[in-house]
Amino acid sequence: MQLKQKIVALAILPLLLAIAAIGVLVQAQALRLGEQQQRLIENSIIASKRAELRNYVELGLSAIAPLYASGRDDPVTQQQVLAILLGLDYGNDGYFFVYDDQGRSLMHPRQPELVGRNLLTMADPERVQAIQALLHSAQRGDGFQRYQWQKPSTGLATEKLAYVVMLDRWGWMLGTGLYLDDVEQATRQARSELAANIRRTLWGLAGVALVAVLLVFAGGMTLNLSEQRLADRKLQLLAQRVVSSQEEERSRVSRELHDGISQLLVSVKFRLELACHELEAGSRQALGTLRDGLARLGGAISEVRRISHDLRPSLLDTIGLPAAIGQLAAEFERRSGLAVEYRQRLESAHLPDTEAVALFRIVQEALANVERHARASGVSILLEQRGATVQLGVVDDGIGFDVERTEQARCGGIGLRNMRERVEHLGGRFRLSSAPGRTELMVTLPLAG
């Protein structure tokens, strides 16, 4: 993956993960709330059915109260009571039933085939012995019991809630019940609505994620194009600076060769030609002229060495950085007439060739700037080791300058900006401060190993 693709991926993946996590949390919370809603709906319906069953049973008891309260326990009275209860129907599936305390069916309006049978051990599809459970509930006094029973309107086993009471004097259990398929239908509808809401929420999150991804992608592409154009401009400027630096260095070498070496060699040539003419003429001045030509030839050789030294400081390879800077400072002092104080405490630190050349060039450029612009009377150079770093400081007492404006204005040569970039490229720190009477350049580079 390219860098821009990694950046876009790092921007999109956390967003997608966050939206996915939000979706999971929303789904879990919705399911939990849905379960609570289902329980509330079911409890509400069950509570209303309990109240309704109590009312039905009280209605049945009030219908048979005159006969039951008469104190007659003969079969005729009991048959009259059963007949009254047999006619108390409500709705398609609402009826009363009567069992004795042994589990024998005494009256069942919807399933007359059960009358006279002992159903105490009969179990529903869930293995619940319904009649036995109803008897126990009636005898305890709570009266309510849930079980499955055949629904008359459909003929299917359906969950039912019954409420029963005991007619203690006769040993009868009287009760009625309501089927709970409407509860199941209500909870099923609630689950369906919940699932639909969850789907809509997840689709909404997916839409938000898609829009966010598109925005991030569009922003990333826009930023990438902008950064690419900026990088191209910087690359063009850098290429121009490299070309300008090369041309300036070539121009400097060309000027020094033409104005220095070439003039010296032409002068040597003239002195040697003059010496030849004087020798042919037998003049006694020929030897002096020849010696003067040799002296000028020595000057040309020294100038060649100086130019070579400027192109590549060979002193670094022979005597090391501290001594090379010391010799550079001594030559600068002789040439410029400025007082130079040089101190070094580099100990046994090892500097790679790249760092040593960089520090030497920085000192060289700094001294050249002092000579050309500072109008100083003295320069101080300090080279020392501090912990895992090597520090170089160059301080002069010149007139000072505006650092920011000067760095922005200088585009060619090594210059202040090139010195800063050279140091930062090596992982170091470059600091330059200037005021009238004191200009300080400080460079810090990490030591190898």
pLDDT in tens, 90-127: 888 899 999 999 999 999 998 899 999 999 888 888 88
CA nearest neighbour of 435 among 394, 409, 398, 405 = 398
If one counts every other C-beta atom within 10 angstroms of the C-beta of residue 176, the result is: 20
The ranges assigned to domains in the chain are 3-185, 314-446
CA nearest neighbour of 157 among 184, 125, 119, 182 = 125
Residue bearing the bigger pLDDT, 54 or 216: 54
Of 50-54, 274-278, 361-365, the poorest mean pLDDT is in 274-278
Q: Is residue 163 within 8 Å of 50, Cβ to Cβ?
A: yes
Cα torsion through 220, 226, 232, 233, rounded to 10:
-160
Query: Is a pLDDT exceeding 80 seen at residue 303?
Result: no
CATH superfamily of 3-185: PAS domain (3.30.450.20)
The predicted-structure confidence for 160-190, as pLDDT tens digits, reads as follows: 999 999 999 999 999 999 988 888 787 778 7
The pLDDT of residue 354 is: 84
Residue for token pair 């003039």: 263
For residue 402, what are its two tokens?
């505006």
CATH class held by domain 314-446: alpha beta
Of 85-89, 241-245, 318-322, the poorest mean pLDDT is in 241-245
Name the phi and psi angles at 273, rounded to 5: -65, -40
For residue 185, what are its two tokens?
């239908």
The pLDDT of residue 413 is: 43
Query: Is a pLDDT exceeding 70 seen at residue 347?
Result: no
Distance CA 436, CA 96 (A): 114
Mean pLDDT of 297-306: 77
Query: Is a pLDDT exceeding 50 seen at residue 412?
Result: no
- Out of 7-21, 144-158, 285-299, the most confident range is 144-158
The predicted-structure confidence for 185-226, as pLDDT tens digits, reads as follows: 877 787 788 788 888 888 888 888 888 878 877 777 777 778
